[in-house]
């Protein structure tokens, strides 16, 4: 059985990258992975990805933060019992600021934790099949084929308007 070759198509336009992903299967090549420096609706549409669960982590973090912010402000005020300018010790109107800030902070924590959990990061596998330009201004489409069809796959990417990089 001939060995498998990995080739990445590098595109400056996410529309062209999306079209290449769409046409790969029909051309008889195996799509492996897509790399994008920004979230792209076009690429996400052709990949038909399921909705991630990161949002639930963010929401949970936000709710916990909201409650924690109020709880912290109330706890601190009750510890001292100082009446300032005749205001109630537990005064909800100014505590909204603490609650809001904690909502944002814990939402971010939840979001980062959710991202790490859902993406199973850190993951050091497959780094040899990555092009740093995909963190810049290129969209990468990684595909594989039998080594005998390497020229065909390179031609496919070039025909789609991209540049082909072969991973040895």
Partner 1 sequence: MKSTIPPDLPSGPARPQRSIFAIGAALSAIGIVAFLVGVASEHPAQAWQAYLINFLLWSAIAQGAVLFSAVTHITKARWSGPLDGLSGAFAGFFPLSFGLFLLLFLGKVHVFPWMHEDLHGKEIWLNIPFLFGRDAVGLLILYGVGFAFLAYALKLKLDPAQTAIGLRRLVRPAPPLDSGEANRIRSRMSLWAGLYIFAFAFVLSLIGFDLVMSMDPHWVSTLFGAYHFVKAFYIGLGGLIILAAIVYQHQGKSTGLAPNHFHDIGKLFLAFCLMWADFFYVQLVVIWYGNLPEETHYVILRTMLPPWRPLAWTVFFMCFIIPFLVLINKSVKSKPRFMMGLCGMVIVGMWLEHLLLIGPALNHGAAEVPLGITDGLIFVGFLGLMVLAVAYTLRLFPELISGSGKELHAGS
Residues that bind partner 1 (CB under 8 A): 41, 51, 55, 59, 85-87, 93-94, 96-97
The count of C-alpha atoms lying within 13 angstroms of the C-alpha of 122, restricted to the half-sphere facing its C-beta, is: 2
Sheet holding 4-11, edge to edge: 30-35, 139-146, 4-11, 163-167
**Cβ atoms of 134 and 140 closer than 8 Å:** yes
Nearer to partner 1, 41 or 48 (CB): 41
Q: How far apart are CA 163 and CA 133, in angstroms?
A: 12
CB of 42 to partner 1, least distance (A): 10
Closest to partner 1 by CB, 99 vs 162, is 99
The DSSP secondary structure of 61-73, one letter per residue, reads: HHHHHHHHHHHHH
- Minimal distance, residue 14 CB to partner 1, in Å: 12
Report the nearest approach of partner 1 to the CB of residue 2 (Å): 42
CB nearer partner 1, residue 49 or residue 166: 49
Nearer to partner 1, 78 or 91 (CB): 91
List the one residue out of 74, 72, 20 whose CA is nearest residue 43. Answer: 20
CB of 158 to partner 1, least distance (A): 25
Closest separation between CB of residue 118 and partner 1, Å?
16
d(CA 157, CA 36): 16
Residue closer to partner 1, measured from CB, 30 or 60: 60
């Amino acid at each position: 059985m001939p060995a498998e070759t990995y080739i990445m198509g590098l595109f400056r336009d996410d529309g062209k990258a999306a079209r290449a992903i769409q046409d790969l299967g029909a051309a008889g090549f195996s799509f492996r992975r897509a790399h994008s420096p920004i979230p792209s609706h076009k690429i996400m549409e052709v990949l038909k990805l399921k909705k991630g669960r990161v949002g639930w982590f963010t929401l949970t973090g936000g709710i916990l933060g909201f409650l924690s912010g109020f709880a912290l402000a109330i706890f601190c005020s009750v510890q001292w019992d100082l009446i300032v300018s005749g205001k109630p010790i537990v005064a909800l109107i100014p505590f909204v600021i603490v609650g809001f800030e904690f909502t944002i902070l814990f939402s971010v924590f939840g979001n980062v934790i959710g991202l790490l959990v859902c993406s199973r990061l850190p993951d050091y596998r497959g780094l040899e099949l990555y092009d740093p330009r995909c963190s810049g201004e290129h969209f990468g489409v990684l595909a594989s084929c039998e080594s005998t069809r390497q020229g065909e796959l390179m031609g496919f990417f070039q025909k789609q308007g991209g540049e082909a990089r072969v991973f040895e």
